[in-house]
């Protein structure tokens, strides 16, 4: 079995950090010279390698090196923004001038402005986010080929492939504002995925698997990724439809992540101040069973969602979003916080490592506890209304009786409300999927309507 090749990390980021900081300083100085009362600027630089292989042949091979800078200026409560990918002095002056020109023609907004100075991060901890990988194009191609080949060889019913994709990217973010805040940190992200097609006398199915990490040493081996993709694909062959029924439902961990995503959408400050959320005015209210805790952990070493400060320079902090089933806090940037008469939660740009606690049960235990019902492995469609909480999505998965999988199912629709689904959480398994900034195990929900034939 070929191991994922890992090279020794470089001693320092492969970016000109000092130059990027200087660009931010120059932009803020220019904004001040042009009369802006406040300003914020950011530089983002990224470099990487991507490879797509299909049926053993290289489909695409891309090297990229991108950079961009943006400036937002304030003239009192009037705001203007502009951006460019040109770091020359002339381009910097023109970009800041454009932002100032825009601000002079916009209407004043009482809630506009930089995040509060008192909330700026004062320390930038090393969160172990940067693990560069000096992998060659030839090695990357071999890795993708090994991944796809392992999947195709796993089962004779694997009839085709949509390919394997390898990606390795490093980045640097620098942010500064006229409060005097300057912050920067490098980061890396590496991934490998495979999508396969299986066929039997009843038709074709497709499925995939992927691995992703900041440190290449933490990636799953290429062959493991391919075999998991194959196993998931052939397990779906022979899928049937179900009759309409009301049954318990298990959302597999990677699908349950979406349920937390809907929660975040509903407690996001932009939805709340527009009164476009089913969780409006629910802070301090019971939204989950008392056994549920959801918390944010922004400073986890090496985690995909970690960050020392948010997109406005506000320090990130560990906090409870839900405690004992009660909604404790929202997800706010500074603008939404002001609209709501609250304070930024350090979430400009999103959440940082959101976790829901789990029970001491495996996925198999969850299945046994459910008895008869549905395991959901995929959802599709846009039938989620975070204004009302209505939930209706196409799905596929497996039918379970007496705690044992009977057969795969497809072309069904799940219907309920998010309110009922959250309150109906019976247990959460320990199979936590950490491949993202939202981390959860599989959920068992007491009852949903399954619409089929």
User: Which tens digits make up the pLDDT trace of 67-101?
Assistant: 999 999 999 999 999 999 999 999 999 999 999 99
- Long-range interactions of 422-428: CB distance < 8 A, separation 24+: 422/259, 422/263, 422/287, 422/288, 423/286, 423/287, 423/288, 423/289, 425/288, 425/289, 425/292, 426/248, 426/369, 427/359, 427/361, 427/366, 427/369, 428/256, 428/292, 428/356, 428/357, 428/358, 428/359
- Could you give the CA distance from residue 201 to residue 398 in angstroms, rounded to a whole number? 19
Instruction: State pLDDT tens for residues 198-212.
Output: 999 989 999 999 999
pLDDT in tens, 101-112: 999 999 999 999
Count other Cβ atoms within 10 Å, centred on residue 383.
Answer: 14
User: 45-74: per-residue pLDDT in tens?
Assistant: 999 999 999 999 999 999 999 999 999 999
For domain 17-234, say whether CATH 3.30.2290.10 is its number.
yes
Burial 66-92 (b: 16+ CB within 10 A, else e): ebebbbbbbbeebbbebebeebeeeeb
Tokens of 6: 């890992």
- Whether residue 288 contacts residue 95, with contact meaning beta carbons closer than 8 Å, is answered with no
pLDDT at 2 over 80: no
Average pLDDT over the chain, rounded to an integer: 95
> Which pLDDT score is estimated for 270?
97
Tell me how crowded residue 289 is: count the other CB atoms within 10 A of its CB.
15
What is the average per-residue pLDDT within 405-431?
97
Residue 10 has pLDDT above 80, yes or no: no
Q: Which of 327, 331, 336 is nearest to 346 (CA)?
A: 331
Q: What are the tens digits of pLDDT across the range 265-289?
A: 999 999 999 999 999 999 999 999 9
Which of 247, 284, 218, 229 lies closest to 416 in space, CA to CA? 247
Q: What is the band of 9 on the pLDDT scale with cuts at 50, 70, 90?
A: very low
SS3 of the chain: CCCCCCCCCCCCCCCCHHHHHHHHHHHHHHHHHCCCCEEEEEEEEEEEEEEEEECCEEEEEEEEEEEEEEEEEEECCEEEEEEECCCCHHHHHHHHHHHHHHHHHCCCCCCCCCCCHHHECCCCCCCCCCCCCCCCHHHHHHHHHHHHHHHHCCCCCEEEEEEEEEEEEEEEEEEEECCCCEEEEEEEEEEEEEEEEEEECCEEEEEEEEEEECCHHHCCCHHHHHHHHHHHHHCCCCCECCCCEEEEEEECHHHHHHHHHHHHHHCEHHHHHCCCCCCCCCCCCECCCCCCCEEECCCCCCCCCCCCECCCCEECCCEEEEECCEECCCECCHHHHHHCCCCCCCCCCCCCCEEECCCCCCHHHHHHHHCCEEEEEEEECCCECCCCCEEEEEEEEEEEECCEEEEEEEEEEEEEEHHHHHHCEEEECCCCECCCCEEECCEEEEEEEEECC
Give the chain's length: 453
Rounded to whole angstroms, the Cα distance separating 453 from 451 reads 7
In 3D, which of 54, 46, 96, 51 has the Cα closest to residue 75? 96
* Structure tokens given for 415: 């219907």
| Alpha carbon distance 59, 72 (integer Å) | 40
Among residues 49, 32, 50, 53, the alpha carbon closest in space to that of 41 is found at: 32
Torsional sign, CA 19, 24, 27, 33? negative
Give me the pLDDT at residue 1, please. Answer: 34
| Tens-digit pLDDT profile for residues 128-183 | 999 999 999 999 999 999 999 999 999 999 999 999 999 999 999 999 999 999 99
Cα–Cα dist 40/115, whole Å: 10
The whole-number pLDDT of residue 4 equals 43
pLDDT for 14: 64
The lowest-confidence range among 3-7, 165-169, 363-367, 436-440 is 3-7
Question: Is the confidence at residue 7, as pLDDT, over 50?
Answer: no
Domain with CATH 3.30.2290.10 in the chain: 17-234
Per-residue pLDDT band for 453 (boundaries 50, 70, 90) equals confident
């Amino acid at each position: 079995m070929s191991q994922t090749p890992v090279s020794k990390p470089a001693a320092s980021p492969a970016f000109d950090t000092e130059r990027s900081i200087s660009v931010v300083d120059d932009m803020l100085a220019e904004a001040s010279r042009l009369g802006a009362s406040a300003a914020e600027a950011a530089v983002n630089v990224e470099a990487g390698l991507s490879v797509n292989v299909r049926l053993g042949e290289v489909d695409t091979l891309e090297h990229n090196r991108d950079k961009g800078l943006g400036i937002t200026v304030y003239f009192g409560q009037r705001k203007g923004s502009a951006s460019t990918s040109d770091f020359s002095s002339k381009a910097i002056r023109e970009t800041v001038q454009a932002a100032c020109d825009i601000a002079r023609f916009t209407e004043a907004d009482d809630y506009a402005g930089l995040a509060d100075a008192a909330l700026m991060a004062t320390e930038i901890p090393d969160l172990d986010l940067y693990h560069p990988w000096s992998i060659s194009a030839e090695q990357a191609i071999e890795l993708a080929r090994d991944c796809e080949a392992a999947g195709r060889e796993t089962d004779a019913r694997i009839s085709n492939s949509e390919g394997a994709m390898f990606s390795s990217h490093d980045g640097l973010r620098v942010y500064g504002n006229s409060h005097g805040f300057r912050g920067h940190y490098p980061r890396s992200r590496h991934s490998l995925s495979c999508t396969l097609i299986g066929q039997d006398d009843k038709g074709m199915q497709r499925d995939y698997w992927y691995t992703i990490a900041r440190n290449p040493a933490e990636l799953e081996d290429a062959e493991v990724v391919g075999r998991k993709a194959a196993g998931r694909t052939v397990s779906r062959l022979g899928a049937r439809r179900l009759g309409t029924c009301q049954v318990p439902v298990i959302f597999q961990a990677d699908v349950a992540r979406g349920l937390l995503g809907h929660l975040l959408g509903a407690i996001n400050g932009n939805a709340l101040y527009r009164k476009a959320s089913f969780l409006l005015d629910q802070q301090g209210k019971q939204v989950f069973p008392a056994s549920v805790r959801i918390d944010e952990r922004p400073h986890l070493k090496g985690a995909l969602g970690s960050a020392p400060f948010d997109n406005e320079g506000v320090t990130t902090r560990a906090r409870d979003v839900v405690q004992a089933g009660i909604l404790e806090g929202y997800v706010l940037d500074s603008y939404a916080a002001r609209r709501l008469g609250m304070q930024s939660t350090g979430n400009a740009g999103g959440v940082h490592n959101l976790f829901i606690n789990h029970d001491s049960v495996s996925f198999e235990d969850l299945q046994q506890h459910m008895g008869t019902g549905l395991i959901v492995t995929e959802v599709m469609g846009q039938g989620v209304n975070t204004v009302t909480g209505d939930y209706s999505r196409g799905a596929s998965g497996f039918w379970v009786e007496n705690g044992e999988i009977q057969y795969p199912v497809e072309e069904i629709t799940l219907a309920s409300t998010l309110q009922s689904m959250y309150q109906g959480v019976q247990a959460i398994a320990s199979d936590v999927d950490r491949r993202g900034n939202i981390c959860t195990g599989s959920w068992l929900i007491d009852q949903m309507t399954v619409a089929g034939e």
